[in-house]
Structure 1
């Protein structure tokens, strides 16, 4: 309950209130944490007696010659759920430090209680994460799986959509505070929200309405930007029976990959071309780039022209305006692209090939 790490944190927090030396002692009378590091690990007879008597003890100058390892001050028992779990001691003139005693004792007990509930929350969160992981892996549900679902109050008869929310790779790791904040913002008891690694949240959603889901996600995204200055990318799978959430999970992964590129909330059911492109292996994408636009790699102006051409839906007029060039210059550049690649911009198959090559080039370059 009262670990050395927690004791050290308490001493650090309490030290901000007073200048006197502070110690935290375990129930065996051993000093666990102290502002005076030379006292760590020493036996403190006064604190040991406080644990036995369960009441505070004033340590006088005379006691320094009688009791082992003590200094003048005050020792107070730390209680948790009715039991003494340690002692906090303040070194100094008893008359001077006594007024601080009860305040620091109460503050210490509150810190211990807060730490306990945080640990319990983390244990429950990890248990739920383990359950969800098994849910996504298992194809047949065992009796114990059903029992744990009941313990977590999870209805396995409901349809669910898997939503994966991912933080930007350069932003802080997902904290317990962020996770709880999203849970409170989401505010749907039937849905399950778990931390999924250091930078992801996994949501098993029960609402089939896409518009409501999109509105809720946008609200959470805005709130996280305002409170934590973090960006959330969202990929959503399809609604499926609870037995088939693994399918929705794979769809959410695919949608998330597109969401990171487009900076939009992506539902897998809305994917068309992207759905096919995601299944193409990286070596195949690289080979297509090599066979098509590799001769343009040292012609950045032509590559930029081609990207702009696609960004403006193959409109010559809009592309020329976007590039701030005369349309005849654009015709010249497109002719050069055709010469380098042997692919013609007026041929449907060729233009699709060029589009895919540019897309794969940008994708593989980022990777």
Structure 2
């Protein structure tokens, strides 16, 4: 009969009295309590109770310490909570971020990096398991991002699994100064679209760095800035939708954002508020051009027929052509091209519906 079996039978037959010959060490971890019972060694070698207790306590401490999350794990958990809006108390979130050295005060937008072709690629080493290699490659991608943005550490980056890395990029003018352009025309835009062009240029440059560093296919999705810590979840939704749609429609090794997905953004995004925001953004260059807006509406009302549109507006066809050219120059969308025309028509319709709702 082996020792565990003998102990079990002793407990069954003699109860508490049968355990009096064994060393009993109390155990407490968090709110759980218990007891470790040590019998005589099978080889009959004697060991002092004090040494036995010290060895047991050492094993227990090492076991419990292995299960305590590291700073790295806590950081990834916090970022995952932010991206999926698992926030019950914002004060708690701010305190967690402060303890981990994450500054949530600057405006931040989410950049999603799909590096699955690199992080999850098969390997043949027998000395490292697949999960460890995945973590190493994910950290290599994060290190490349940290180096590119000249960050002091990797606290705003997290590996989400499935080959994806999230970056909570500060998206104000100060932090995007290297990629800003005085001709971006962000004045008057809602905060969700401000500095998006600079963020896109930053992501384009980051894509080149990551492709050079990994030698693999990389895709990047960028989200708009939304106010507050809860806004990070909405920015993540933007980036996720842009990345998913963009990879299917535009191919690999691209930076994808909702503003450049064309009709697909209106079809593939379910959130109505996002669609309305997108419509406002795409037509925002015409906000101070009432004559061009009237021309555009009339052009669509006349089924994109130049002659009847010019007649309806009481202008020469050459003047109409000039106005349509200016619309294309300002918005980047040409109403004489089918896909652009459909997109602009949807924008006008969504803006009109949103205006009617606000008047109720």
Q: TM-score, normalised by structure 1?
A: 0.41
User: Relative contact order: is structure 1 or structure 2 higher (C-alpha 8 Å, sep ≥ 6)?
Assistant: 2
